Chains A and B, each alone.
Chain A
Amino acid sequence: MLKKYRMLALLLAFSLVFAACSTASETAKTADTASTEVEMPAEKTTIVFWNGVGAPENVVLTELVKEYNETNQDNVYVEEVILDWSTLYSKILLDFETGTPPDIMTIQQSGLYQNVDLGILADLTNLMPEYGFAKEDFIESAWNGSFIGDKQYAVPFDLHPLALYYNVGLFEEAGLDPANPPATMEEFLNAAQALTKDTSGDGTTDQYGLGLAYSGGLPFRLWMSLLWQHEGAEILNEDNTAAAFNTDAGLESLEFLYDLVYTYKVIPEQEQSPDDDFMKGIVGMVISGPWSQFDFNSVEELEYATAPLPVFYDQEAAWADSHMLALPDTKDETRMAAAMSFARFLSDNSLIWTQKAGHLPVKLSVLESNEFEELEKAQAFAVTLPNAHYYPSIKNESLVFGRDSNSPFVVLMESTLLNAMTPQEALNEVETMVNELLGQ
């Protein structure tokens, strides 16, 4: 028995020593904010970059970071930290509070207002021209989206609107022309109904026209897109203090989606994973952003194409969000300059981001380039760009436009698509919720 204790004691001692040694070296390393791999000369400015775009696109940014570190003439070294959005948005607050924020980070346009309001981000209005960023070079909506009031807080990097994906093989089987995807309400219904059939002959439908989940972010973003397709329709009123969506336009859009499930029956009931279903060939169309291309491309048997979101009502419109680069307000001029140089590099290389990650570029020069024109599937999204709508910029963005079951617009879609409330009831309920939240 004593022997066993000796073993235990030894293990204990060993582990403590080991942990202590590793800790010592780790703290030393993190104190230097230096990487474990590369040695760099002392004069280089080291900045920390938070890559929050998430898997699987994050690898593309990582490659760009590496390239920058190896080739840049600005004497800058970028230390990359990979996070997911959720952690990024919480950690930025925590780290800002303790005085250790990163120097530059990815941010979504939808998250901009909240962070600016909390004082986290640095005002870049004067820095932007210094580093060659000018309004004329960018898509208007993206450029404007980086402003809160008349101050600019981020470098627009990409835009990702919603578009229509459709299965070429299934189109052909259904007698539809893949070169002429649906562009109007009528064509869309037509296609959806042609694609909905009983392929196994057992009396149940096993192929559907469209895939749409009942919860999460996408359903309500689609509904908003439909809303915006009505002339003059808005989500919130002019100064963003009250809901403005409980109108005929809002109702019509919501009822349409309801009908797709329960009247026309072209969407499977209680669908959870439309992207998966699209990849399996169970639904013929799906509406999503450029990010889905990654997964769709990995399925060899799937032959698909993209088209702009059909114009169901008066005008073109589609929901979009953007990735941008923002600088936490560290007030350290040297590091901010270094961060801007890095941002400049990323912006110059945004074509690579588009080619490999699929998100749309926001720089006109890239959109007009030959290389971009070659990206077949991206064209549908590009067409949508001028009509891309962001969420209204509000302080409580994460509260009002949140994606979990308690968030107002998720309640809206869940209640409707799960047939728990009529569309009008749902709109009334959610209008109250949103007004309450805006009032806080």
Chain B
Amino acid sequence: MFGKKRMNLSSAGWFLLPYLLIYFIFFFLPAISIVPMSFTEWSIVGTPKFIGFENYKNIFSDRYFPKTLSNTFIYTILVTVVLTILGLLMAILLNRKVRGRGVARTIVIMPYVISSAVAGIIWRWMFERNFGIINTYLQQLGLPFIGWLSDPNIALYSIVIMNIWWSIGFNTVTFLAAIQGIPEELYQAAQVDGASSFQSFLYITIPQLKPIILYVTVLCAANSFQMFDEAYVMTQGGPLGSTTTLVYKSYIEAFKSFRLGYSAALSVVTCAIIIIITLIQMKANKRSDV
């Protein structure tokens, strides 16, 4: 039994070189500079002023920080869980050999093709409390208005709803592709053994898809932890800071308040948390291999 194929270093180098080259120049160098920048005060013009841990102190002593942090976590957990499960189920549904599945697939992914800004505008309009389409129909049914984007307790969840509509295409397509890679023989053998379709799902599909499920959850979590576009277009972080996420705050600090040092510190914190979340997921994935 061969282990992983052994590739000698030089040939591996050639495989990795092109990517690492542009990665280094156009990502790593600029990105790594946010760490030293987080210890300074800088408004883009002039030289950064060193201020030690001041920015970090300010982040944790900001009265709105706990709310921002919890917003981000709640959003991330909800979106990741729902999108992963839903994406998988949708992929299975759209994989069935039925007529019109091509059309269905296209419709499901169409939202993702729309830019987040436009999707945000559409939903912002649909969600409008007094005269948006959803509340209008609710009113006709005799139900009270819901402040989808204007009620501080609901706004964040409304964004979750919008995001599910918008980005499920990503997960669905990914899972679809992965399902194609599962050899048909496995299912046939299982059928011969008398397994039900649910059992096939549990004992063949899921284990086969493990690497892709990890891929999807890691990406989902990382992306949703960095939620920004929706908050920017639909609620500007409100009402009352209920949809302000770490990244949104970081953006405002950088491009509206021109406090790049503070913004960099926020980015560092955000990134650190994402790294931790990702490591946890990867560990959990490895564990379940046993």
Judge A-B direct contact (beta carbons within 8 Å): yes
Interface residues of A (CB under 8 A from B): 86, 89-90, 93-94, 96-97, 114, 118-120, 214-216, 268-273, 276-277, 280, 282, 396, 398-399, 402-406, 410-411, 414-415, 418, 420
B45 at the interface (CB under 8 A from A): yes
B90-108 interface (Cβ within 8 A of A): none
CA distance in complex: A16, B64 (Å)? 49
Task: Give the distance to chain A from B263, nearest Cβ to Cβ, in Å.
Answer: 12
CA distance in complex: A49, B209 (Å)? 55
Task: Give the distance to chain B from A390, nearest Cβ to Cβ, in Å.
Answer: 19
Instruction: Please tell me if the beta carbons of B131 and A270 are within 8 angstroms of each other in the complex.
Output: no
Instruction: Please tell me if the beta carbons of A404 and B44 are within 8 angstroms of each other in the complex.
Output: no
Instruction: Please tell me if the beta carbons of B46 and A414 are within 8 angstroms of each other in the complex.
Output: no
Assuming the contacts A270-B129, A272-B149, A282-B131, asked whether A93 and B258 have C-beta atoms less than 8 A apart, the reply is yes
Residue of B nearest to A204 (CB): B139
Task: Choose one: B43, B45, B241; the contact of A405 (CB below 8 Å).
Answer: B241
Assuming the contacts A277-B130, A404-B252, A418-B152, asked whether A93 and B44 have C-beta atoms less than 8 A apart, the reply is yes
Residue of A nearest to B64 (CB): A406
Assuming the contacts A270-B129, A418-B150, asked whether A120 and B45 have C-beta atoms less than 8 A apart, the reply is yes
5 intermolecular pairs with C-beta atoms under 8 Å apart: A90-B258, A93-B43, A398-B256, A420-B152, A420-B240
Name the B residues within 8 Å of A403 (CB-CB). 236
Instruction: Please tell me if the beta carbons of A273 and B128 are within 8 angstroms of each other in the complex.
Output: yes
Name the B residues within 8 Å of A93 (CB-CB). 43-45, 258
Task: Give the distance to chain A from B239, nearest Cβ to Cβ, in Å.
Answer: 5
B24-83 interface (Cβ within 8 A of A): 43-46, 64
Name the B residues within 8 Å of A398 (CB-CB). 256-258
Most buried by B among A90, A94, A272, A282: A272
Known: A402-B256, A404-B236. 18 other contacts (CB 8 A): A86-B255, A86-B256, A89-B255, A90-B258, A93-B44, A118-B43, A118-B46, A215-B236, A269-B130, A272-B130, A272-B149, A280-B131, A398-B256, A399-B257, A405-B244, A406-B241, A406-B252, A414-B239
CA distance in complex: A216, B239 (Å)? 10
Instruction: Please tell me if the beta carbons of B150 and A96 are within 8 angstroms of each other in the complex.
Output: no
**How many residue pairs at the A-B interface have CB separations less than 8 Å?**
95
Instruction: Please tell me if the beta carbons of B237 and A405 are within 8 angstroms of each other in the complex.
Output: yes
B249 at the interface (CB under 8 A from A): yes
Task: Give the distance to chain B from A333, nearest Cβ to Cβ, in Å.
Answer: 22
Assuming the contacts A282-B131, A398-B256, asked whether A415 and B240 have C-beta atoms less than 8 A apart, the reply is yes
Name the A residues within 8 Å of B249 (CB-CB). 406
Residue of B nearest to A118 (CB): B45
Instruction: Please tell me if the beta carbons of B252 and A402 are within 8 angstroms of each other in the complex.
Output: yes
The 7 A-B residue pairs whose C-beta atoms are closest, nearest first, are A405-B238, A405-B237, A270-B150, A93-B44, A404-B236, A399-B257, A118-B45
B235 at the interface (CB under 8 A from A): yes
Name the A residues within 8 Å of B172 (CB-CB). none
CA distance in complex: A280, B136 (Å)? 15
Most buried by A among B44, B128, B244, B252: B44
CA distance in complex: A402, B238 (Å)? 13
Instruction: Please tell me if the beta carbons of B256 and A215 are within 8 angstroms of each other in the complex.
Output: no
Task: Choose one: A119, A276, A280, A405; the contact of B236 (CB below 8 Å).
Answer: A405
Task: Give the distance to chain B from A124, nearest Cβ to Cβ, in Å.
Answer: 19
Name the B residues within 8 Å of A268 (CB-CB). 130
Residue of B nearest to A273 (CB): B128
CA distance in complex: A214, B44 (Å)? 33
CA distance in complex: A276, B129 (Å)? 13
Name the B residues within 8 Å of A280 (CB-CB). 131
CA distance in complex: A402, B256 (Å)? 8
B243 at the interface (CB under 8 A from A): yes
Task: Choose one: B45, B150, B152, B256; the contact of A97 (CB below 8 Å).
Answer: B45
Instruction: Please tell me if the beta carbons of B240 and A119 are within 8 angstroms of each other in the complex.
Output: no
B151 at the interface (CB under 8 A from A): yes
CA distance in complex: A385, B266 (Å)? 43
Instruction: Please tell me if the beta carbons of A270 and B252 are within 8 angstroms of each other in the complex.
Output: no
Instruction: Please tell me if the beta carbons of B240 and A270 are within 8 angstroms of each other in the complex.
Output: no
CA distance in complex: A272, B158 (Å)? 15
Name the B residues within 8 Å of A119 (CB-CB). 45-46
CA distance in complex: A306, B57 (Å)? 50
Instruction: Please tell me if the beta carbons of A405 and B257 are within 8 angstroms of each other in the complex.
Output: no
Task: Give the distance to chain A from B151, nearest Cβ to Cβ, in Å.
Answer: 7
CA distance in complex: A271, B132 (Å)? 11
Task: Give the distance to chain A from B253, nearest Cβ to Cβ, in Å.
Answer: 9
Name the B residues within 8 Å of A216 (CB-CB). 236
Name the A residues within 8 Å of B255 (CB-CB). 86, 89-90
Task: Choose one: A269, A402, A410, A415; the contact of B257 (CB below 8 Å).
Answer: A402
Name the B residues within 8 Å of A120 (CB-CB). 45
Instruction: Please tell me if the beta carbons of A418 and B239 are within 8 angstroms of each other in the complex.
Output: yes
CA distance in complex: A273, B126 (Å)? 12
CA distance in complex: A120, B259 (Å)? 17
CA distance in complex: A269, B257 (Å)? 30
B234-284 interface (Cβ within 8 A of A): 235-241, 243-244, 249, 252, 255-259
Name the A residues within 8 Å of B236 (CB-CB). 215-216, 403-405, 410
Name the B residues within 8 Å of A271 (CB-CB). 129-130
